[in-house]
Structure formats: C-alpha cells, structure tokens
Homo-oligomer: A and B are copies of this chain.
Amino acid sequence: MDNYSIDDIDYRILQYIIEDSRLTQKEIGEKIHMTGQAVGARIRRMRELEIIEGYTVRWNPQKLGQNIHAFITVFLSSNKVHPPFQKFAQEHVNVAELHRVSGEGCYWMRVYAKDQEELSTFLDLLLEFGNYRVNLGMGKLK
C-alpha cells in the first residue's frame, strides 16, 4: 500500500489534531518537543499524502432538531437498481453517510431525520430500491 511514509511523530501529531484540529502548531510542538514550523511541515505533508482529507467540525444533530439517528442496512432487490439507488442516496439530504458493504446488494448508511414521520417518508422512498433493516440510535457512547 502507500502507508510507508508516516512515522511515529506524524502519527502522534495526527492523534492530536483528530482530537482537536484547532490546537496550534506551536502547542503541538511543545507536546512533542519540536518547533511549530516543523509540526506545520509534517501536517502539510500529511495533507499532500491525503492522510488528512480535510478539516471539519463535530456537531450535535439533536440541537439542530435532528432527533432521529438511524443506522440502516439496505438490501437491493436487483442489480439494476444500484445506480439509481446510489444517486438517490447521494442526493438525499437525510443521508449523512453511505458505504458499500459486504453481502449481496448491501449498503450501509447513516440517516438523520427530524422525527419519526420524516424517517417514515424516507423509508417509503427507500422501499423502491429494496429492503432494509433499521436501527435507531439511542445514545452515543464513543
């Protein structure tokens, strides 16, 4: 693979910025005994290698009225519906994350919705493509 080029120092820096990407390079540098500039150069390199893909925030869906957090496994009914399903899921605002997973015609996705009704509406649309199994998130532990 192409994971040859990261060393232990890079890895420690990455842990710090996964935890809090607004730590300054200088602060990280103090933890690992380096100047901020050296840390900055390593971070830049990890971005170029696409180990770091981008910067984002952790946000709270509930505080935005997204009270439903559903983990859905989808079983497509035929091979023909893969393309339209992918398009559907990628464009639908309720779908926060989508993966191809092992198993016949299987996808996994994370869905946020305002309430049960919005989820129902979504599931109705989903039925066009195949069956599904839903698990509702009841609390994040990690």
The verdict on A123 contacting chain B, using a C-beta distance below 8 Å, is no
**Within the complex, which residue of B21, B63, B95, B96 is in contact with A51, where a contact is CB–CB below 8 Å?**
B63
**A71-B99, A90-B141 known; A51 vs B22 contact (CB < 8 Å):** no
Q: How many copies does the complex hold?
A: 2
Interface residues on A, range: 35 or more
Residues of B within 8 A of A57 (CB): 14, 17-18, 21, 52-56
**A71-B101, A101-B135 known; A59 vs B64 contact (CB < 8 Å):** no
Residues of B within 8 A of A53 (CB): 57-60
- Across chains A and B, which 8 residue pairs bring their CB atoms closest together, nearest first? A98-B142, A101-B135, A102-B136, A53-B58, A100-B138, A100-B139, A21-B55, A98-B141
Contact, CB under 8 Å: B51 / A58:
no
Residues of B within 8 A of A89 (CB): 141-142
Contact, CB under 8 Å: A58 / B52:
yes
**Alpha-carbon distance A106/B134, docked complex (angstroms):** 12
Residues of B within 8 A of A58 (CB): 52-56
